[in-house]
Each structure stands twice: as structure tokens, then as C-alpha cells.
A and B are shown apart, each in its own frame.
Chain A
């Protein structure tokens, strides 16, 4: 089952915050986050592993609630460079890297 991302799209002004959610109907071992800029390949941001950890990457951080089977990506004080489509990918076990299931993506537009 494809994880559900919300919202589908969001438009922000530079400096505003955004939250992107990724929910699965199945038990998860890991949630993976990628950003894809227009016309480019997806780029790896971070992986959250089972255990409810929170990770950070510059002003982008994420959390993983394994009980709720949900992850959230937080973009703080957004910059123009944050524009793009954000995809989550989910995996059920540590050995299931080849079974990554991708969400449909959340398009983020940052305006000056």
C-alpha cells in the first residue's frame, strides 16, 4: 500500500514553516525522505528508523511515530532553495531496502 502524503501541495512565503506528513497503513521499520527539484533527480534527505527518533538536516528535520505509522518532515524558516517536490518512502523491515514504497509526493512552492 502506497503511503499517503499530505498536503498534496503547499505554497509558502520565504521564512514561513511547513510540515509534510507521510502515513502508512502497515507497520514500518523506516521512513525515507527525498527532495526533487524540477527537472532533476530525487536527492536523499534523511532516513528515520523504528524507535521514534527525530533527525535534523540544516533547518529540515523529521520525526517518526512507529505506533501511528507516520512520519512528519518539518521545514523551518523556509528558503527559496527548499522549493521542490518531497517524497517519502517506507520500508517494513531492515532488509527491505529494495521494497521501498513511495508516496505520491508533496509539492512545495516558496515565494519571495
Chain B
């Protein structure tokens, strides 16, 4: 039972470079999310998707782009990396409707450093 798989786990980027963080889930969840977490801080929502072909901005979308061509995959694209994007990135997925037994399932995270 894989759950949510994120790759890569670690990455160092130079300022101005671009990269794509991959996220895949095998739970047939409609909802998927990208968060960033700075050291000692909480989770900030970058983008989310409520289904294939539907995405929307979260709290901190600037400098990022997403796409959702399938239910399973939700990649996050960083264009023109900046030091302010140094953070840990978490992908998560969930059911559409809140139930008392199922919460968000998070991937293991990608630790990104921009130098």
C-alpha cells in the first residue's frame, strides 16, 4: 500500500533553475494538495486540485505551477527558483467529503534547497 509517493526526497537547485516535484497517489482520491513547510512553521497551501483537470491557487502560489491530467498524478513545477523557495514540500491527498475516519494522507516530503 504505497499511499502518496513523492520524488525526489532531496534536491539542491541553483537560482534561476527549474524543476518538477512529482506526486502520485494510488487511493483514488479526488482531492490533492501541495504544501510547503518552512523550518519550525506550519503548513502553507500552495495549490490544490479537486479532480483531474481542475486546479486552484492556495495561500502561497507565486512562483509555482501545477497540472492534474490524471486522478493519480499532481506534479508541482518551480520556475526560476529563488532562495525564498527553500523549504520542505509535502504533497497530500484526501477524499472529497469529510468523514470521521479518513484524513489527509501525506507524502514523505521533498527537501529543496535553492542556492
Q: Which residues in A have some Cβ–Cβ distance to B below 8 Å?
A: 29-30, 32, 34, 40-49, 55, 87, 89, 91, 94-98, 100, 102-105
The residue among A42, A43, A47 with the most chain B CB atoms within 10 A of its own CB is: A42
18 more A-B contacts (CB under 8 A) besides A41-B106, A44-B103, A97-B98?
A32-B104, A34-B103, A41-B90, A41-B108, A42-B43, A43-B106, A44-B104, A44-B105, A45-B103, A48-B100, A55-B100, A89-B104, A91-B98, A97-B97, A98-B31, A98-B33, A98-B94, A102-B42
The smallest C-beta distance from A35 to any residue of chain B, in angstroms, reads 11
Q: A108: shortest Cβ distance to chain B, in Å? A: 14
| B98–A49 CB distance below 8 A | yes
Closest 4 CB pairs of A and B: A44-B103, A41-B106, A104-B42, A102-B43
Nearest residue (CB) in B for A43 is B106
Contact B108 A47 (CB under 8 A): no
Question: Which listed residue, B41, B98, B101, B106, touches A42 by the CB 8 Å rule?
Answer: B106
Q: How far is the CA of A97 from the CA of B94 in the complex (A)?
A: 8
Quick one: CB contact mask for B15-45 with A, threshold 8 Å, 1 for yes? 0000000000000000101000000011100
